């Protein structure tokens, strides 16, 4: 099985080869604020900075300038990586058109007008990216009205990206929205819950990863000033919540 280093501290040890699956399409789900966007960007930034893997981030949930600013709070300078030639990170604005704003961004997607697949293929050719994050599938599904069309685009995209050895993270808010239909090759869940003390704990579960032996229990993680850090030795049991 082909693997990569994810760049998220503690994540790779959840998989038996101690590395993250390469070239797969993986759903990252969780409730609001559970860390899906940070997870996706940390995966891309560290891939680009440390492992020679340029990345593409397609944002349907927020303006690229907000993303640059939010990630700067971790000390991550996306803009600097965007300015390389070819770029180490490419941000694609799928947000502005959705809410009727004009945009100065170089790369945009007008849902129902531009094909996600065509835009992505063009950027892949230009940048040689091998990591992609689409944030989020839930929003994409609400923009493209026809569920069959979304499903077809996602499946086709998965096949093309996989063929090119590209590892893709698709974020989604919950499983209840029908995202399970996309039949991804892996499913990682992010969550949080309240302890009896009133504190909250964050937890991550690798629920599915085709072809890989992996940990199958909730592990604690934190979002620190340096980003996401997973503690593979800290299993979070139901009894520890509430
Ligand atoms: N600089 C930072 N230092 C520590 N924690 C931070 C920092 N920036 C954000 N966070 C934490 O990360 C959370 C946001 O995570 P993120 O935006 O990735 O969640 P999400 O699952 O994508 O949410 P949504 O569903 O709303 O898009 C914040 O609510 C905050 O708790
Ligand atoms: Mg988000």
The number of the ligand 1 atom at minimal distance from the alpha carbon of 224 is 4
pLDDT of the residue at 94? 94
pLDDT band at residue 177 using 50, 70 and 90 as cut-offs? low
Mean pLDDT, rounded, for 36-58: 98
At the fourth CATH level, which superfamily is domain 23-190?
P-loop containing nucleotide triphosphate hydrolases (3.40.50.300)
Whole-prediction pTM:
0.96
Pocket test for ligand 1, best of 8, 31, 37 (most atoms within 8 A of CB): 37
pLDDT of the residue at 175? 62
Residue (of 50, 51, 45, 49) closest to 22 by Cα position: 51
For residue 61, is pLDDT > 60? yes
Residues in Cβ contact with 7 at an 8 Å cutoff, skipping those fewer than 6 apart: 42, 43, 45, 46, 47, 49, 50, 51
pLDDT of the residue at 179? 59
Query: Which residue's CA is the nearest one to ligand 1's atom 13?
Result: 33
Instruction: Kindly state the tokens that stand for 128.
Output: 């040689």
- Within 13 Å and on the Cβ side, how many CA atoms surround 156? 12
pLDDT band at residue 139 using 50, 70 and 90 as cut-offs? confident
Lowest model confidence (mean pLDDT) among 6-10, 11-15, 144-148, 198-202: 144-148
35 CA distance to ligand 2 centroid (A)? 7
Q: Name the more confident of 178 and 56.
A: 56
- For Cα atoms 214, 220, 224, give the angle at the middle one, nearest 5 degrees: 120
């Amino acid at each position: 099985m082909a693997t990569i280093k994810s760049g998220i501290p503690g994540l790779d040890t959840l998989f038996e080869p101690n590395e993250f699956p390469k070239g797969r399409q993986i759903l990252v789900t969780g409730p609001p604020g559970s860390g899906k966007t940070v997870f996706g960007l940390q995966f891309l930034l560290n891939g680009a900075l440390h492992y020679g893997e340029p990345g593409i981030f397609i944002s349907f949930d927020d303006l690229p300038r907000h993303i640059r600013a939010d990630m700067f709070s971790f000390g991550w300078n996306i803009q600097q990586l965007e300015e390389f030639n070819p770029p180490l990170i490419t941000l694609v604005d799928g947000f502005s058109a959705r809410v009727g704003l004009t945009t100065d961004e170089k790369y945009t997607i007008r849902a129902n007008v531009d094909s996600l697949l065509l835009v992505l293929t063009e950027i892949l050719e230009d940048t040689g990216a091998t990591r992609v994050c689409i944030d989020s599938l839930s929003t994409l599904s609400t923009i493209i009205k026809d569920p069959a069309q979304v499903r077809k685009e996602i499946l086709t995209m998965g096949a093309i990206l996989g063929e090119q050895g590209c590892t893709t993270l698709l974020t989604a808010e919950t499983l209840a929205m029908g995202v399970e239909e996309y039949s991804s090759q892996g499913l990682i869940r992010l969550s949080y819950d309240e302890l009896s003390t009133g504190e909250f704990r964050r937890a991550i579960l690798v629920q599915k990863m085709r072809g890989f032996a992996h940990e199958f229990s909730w592990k604690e993680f934190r979002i620190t000033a340096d980003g996401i850090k997973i503690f593979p030795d800290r299993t979070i049991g139901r009894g520890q919540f509430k």
